[in-house]
Amino acid sequence: MAAAAAAAVATGAVLARGGGAETGPATIRITDVQTEFRRVDAGAPGRIGDVEVLRQQLYNRRISPRPIGSAYLVCTFLDRRTRQCNGTYVLPKGKIVVAGALDSRLLYEAAIVGGTGLYDNARGALTVTATALRPRRNVLLFRLAG
Amino acid sequence: MREGRTILVVDDEPPLRELIRVSLGDRFAFAEAGDADEAWAEAKLRRPDLVVLDIMLPGRSGLELLRQLKSDTELAHVPVVVLSAWQTDQDARDALDAGADAFFPKPFAPDELARVVDVLLEDAA
């Protein structure tokens, strides 16, 4: 992941870099608030094929009470519980794209499969921890591989 | 929400177990344990629908119990809400790696815990 330090500046995020190098592993910690949630019923038993569509606003309260970006996720149920999710996090100067199968949206990990702009060719993992449900809030920890 | 479900509350502090019971209300039946070994025995006996688990327990830790639950064929499907006084990102990842379905810092908001339990039970239904 190139320009990790610049990524931190762009998001205002907490970022730790390994080894003091200009490029390399980095961590971005931000939060989200869910602003929209829709579930589309596919009509099949056991939720199979149902789709959840989520929109979120992204924050770094340490630097601003205003949103620093937004996120869009689409999850398709594979069975009663497990869903395959794809998401795009729109951050200042770039996007991070994630994907993964998860059983619960309360605590999960997804792969960072790519990005654009500052996050071009990003790889790594995103850990999401729900902190509240009304409104739905999460802590997002992007661990970008070098 | 299906009635008659059993929740296993695992915490070494009886007042906290009571707080959790009160937070979740009388919609559920409860089993309780003060340490990991007692919790394991209760889980095998009662087959709970959900476990609320404190990390810091006397003897074996809550994470050890969580791994044991998730590796048991009869109990692996049971959702587990982890409560922890430790609130770092690494603590949440450790809980996730051990198989937790939700991670809640202490002190917790009772109504939020109730909502989380409802979401997990609905997903597991």
Q: Tell me the average pLDDT of chain A.
A: 86
pLDDT for A6: 47
| Pairwise pLDDT comparison (B51 vs A17), residue with the higher score | B51
- Record: contact B119-A133, CB cut-off 8 A: yes
- Record: contact A133-B109, CB cut-off 8 A: no
Contacts of B123 in chain A (CB under 8 A): 80-81, 103-104
pLDDT for A18: 42
The pair of structure tokens assigned to A2 is: 């190139």
pLDDT-based confidence at A93, cuts 50/70/90? confident
pTM higher than 0.80 for the full model?
Answer: yes
Establish whether the linkage from the previous residue to A67 is cis, with ω within 30° of 0: no
Q: Does any CB of chain B come closer than 8 Å to the CB of residue A107?
A: yes
Taking the CA of residue A108 and the nearest CA in chain B, the distance in Å comes to: 7
Taking the CA of residue B86 and the nearest CA in chain A, the distance in Å comes to: 14
pLDDT for A146: 65
pLDDT of residue A2 exceeding 70, the answer is no
Task: Show which of residues 25-84 on chain A sit within 8 Å of chain B, judged by CB atoms.
Answer: 29, 80-81
Q: Does any CB of chain B come closer than 8 Å to the CB of residue A141?
A: yes
pLDDT-based confidence at A24, cuts 50/70/90? low
pLDDT of residue A17 exceeding 50, the answer is no
pLDDT for B102: 94
pLDDT for B105: 84
Establish whether the linkage from the previous residue to A45 is cis, with ω within 30° of 0: no
Q: How far apart are CA B51 and CA A77, in angstroms?
A: 24
Contacts of A131 in chain B (CB under 8 A): 105
Taking the CA of residue A71 and the nearest CA in chain B, the distance in Å comes to: 21
- Record: contact A129-B125, CB cut-off 8 A: no
ipTM of this model? 0.80
pLDDT for A123: 95
pLDDT for A19: 38
pLDDT for A25: 80
Contacts of B125 in chain A (CB under 8 A): 80
pLDDT in tens, B57-112: 999 999 999 999 999 999 999 999 999 888 788 888 999 999 999 998 888 889 99
> What single DSSP character describes residue A4?
H
pLDDT of residue A40 exceeding 60, the answer is yes
pLDDT for A125: 96
pLDDT for B123: 82
Q: How far apart are CA B105 and CA A86, in angstroms?
A: 27
pLDDT for A134: 85
Cβ-nearest to B102 among A29, A81, A130:
A130
Residue in B with minimal Cα distance to A136: B112
pLDDT for A81: 86
Contacts of B92 in chain A (CB under 8 A): 107, 127, 129, 139, 141
pLDDT of residue A15 exceeding 70, the answer is no
pLDDT for A12: 54
pLDDT of residue B32 exceeding 50, the answer is yes
| Pairwise pLDDT comparison (A18 vs A96), residue with the higher score | A96
pLDDT in tens, B35-45: 999 999 999 99
Contact B111, B23 (CB under 8 A): yes
pLDDT of residue A8 exceeding 90, the answer is no
Q: How far apart are the first and last CA of chain A?
A: 5
Q: Strand locations in A6-135, DSSP E?
A: 26-40, 51-59, 69-77, 83-91, 94-102, 107-117, 124-133
Which strands, in side-by-side order, build the sheet including B80-84?
B28-33, B5-10, B50-54, B80-84, B102-105
